[in-house]
Amino acid sequence: MPPRRSFGAKPEPDLSAGNRGRHISKELRVNRQIRVREVRVIDEDGAQLGVLPTRQAYETARERNLDLVEVAPQATPPVCRMMDYGRFKYEQAKSERESRARRKVQELREVRLRPKIDDHDFEVKSKMVNRLIDQGDRVKVILRFRGREVVHTHLAMKLLERIFTEVAEKAVILQKPLMEGRQMVMVLAPKPT
């Protein structure tokens, strides 16, 4: 049984065999922060310089106007690389920004229908579904029933199938038409490219 702790106290990290590497921060140790006796050194070109005392490795990196960065602290001895750490951090942040900018967040948009929809209104709704699929969003098509309309679910199924046939070349069905209370729901998504 774990010891009791008072309210507000920080829990101690679980360092059991399965959780050892989970609490390591993303920050790398650089230059004087490296506190081991000797390290395996890799120079800026990727060539191994061998196992050196940490002080000598640090001095060699300083002579080359580079930083000594611990890249594999779990290795025995830890592996350090000579690099321009400021430039490395800048390049890393830049690539993360670019990947975030390229990634499009897929939204779930809703289009609502009624079972007694006129042909022109249906065309407008299907064009809307088509446009949303073209934009790369998922579309939740909701068909709402009022009163005794709920008895005619077969007509609603035909209507949802008709919408899907309008966008079949661009979309796939993520969720088949299902009844949820007094409405029938179908979710469409753009075909993966």
Region for residue 92 given its phi and psi (left: phi exceeds 0; alpha: psi -120 to 50; beta: otherwise) = alpha
Tally the domains of the chain: 2
Instruction: Record the tokens describing residue 172, joined without a space.
Output: 């796939």
Q: Which domain holds residue 86?
A: 26-100
In-domain check, residue 1: no
Last residue of a domain, one of 53, 68, 100: 100
Q: What is the pLDDT of residue 1?
A: 55
Do residue 96 and residue 113 come from a single domain? no
> Across the beta sheet with 48-53, what order do the strands follow?
48-53, 38-42, 79-83, 67-72
Of 168, 172, 177, 165, the residue nearest 192 (C-alpha): 172
Q: What is the pLDDT of residue 26?
A: 63
Q: What is the pLDDT of residue 27?
A: 75
In-domain check, residue 15: no
In-domain check, residue 41: yes
In-domain check, residue 5: no
Predicted TM-score (pTM) of the model is 0.49
Do residue 89 and residue 115 come from a single domain? no
Do residue 117 and residue 176 come from a single domain? yes
Do residue 55 and residue 92 come from a single domain? yes
Residue 21 CB partners (closer than 8 Å, separation 6+): 74
Last residue of a domain, one of 77, 100, 123: 100
Are 84 and 114 spatial neighbours (Cβ–Cβ below 8 Å)?
Answer: no
Last residue of a domain, one of 100, 132, 159: 100
Backbone phi, psi, residue 144, to 5°? -95, 140
In-domain check, residue 2: no
Do residue 119 and residue 170 come from a single domain? yes
Do residue 96 and residue 114 come from a single domain? no
Do residue 128 and residue 186 come from a single domain? yes
Do residue 65 and residue 114 come from a single domain? no
Do residue 140 and residue 91 come from a single domain? no
119-134 and 153-167 are packed helices; what angle lies between their axes, rounded to 10 degrees? 50
Q: What is the pLDDT along the chain (193 residues), one digit of tens a residue?
A: 555 554 444 444 444 444 444 443 467 888 888 888 999 999 888 888 899 998 998 998 999 999 999 988 888 889 999 999 889 889 989 998 888 877 767 788 999 999 888 999 999 999 999 999 998 889 999 999 998 888 888 888 999 999 999 888 989 999 899 998 899 999 999 988 7
Do residue 92 and residue 35 come from a single domain? yes
CATH of the domain at 95: 3.10.20.80
Q: What is the pLDDT of residue 10?
A: 47
Q: What is the pLDDT of residue 21?
A: 43
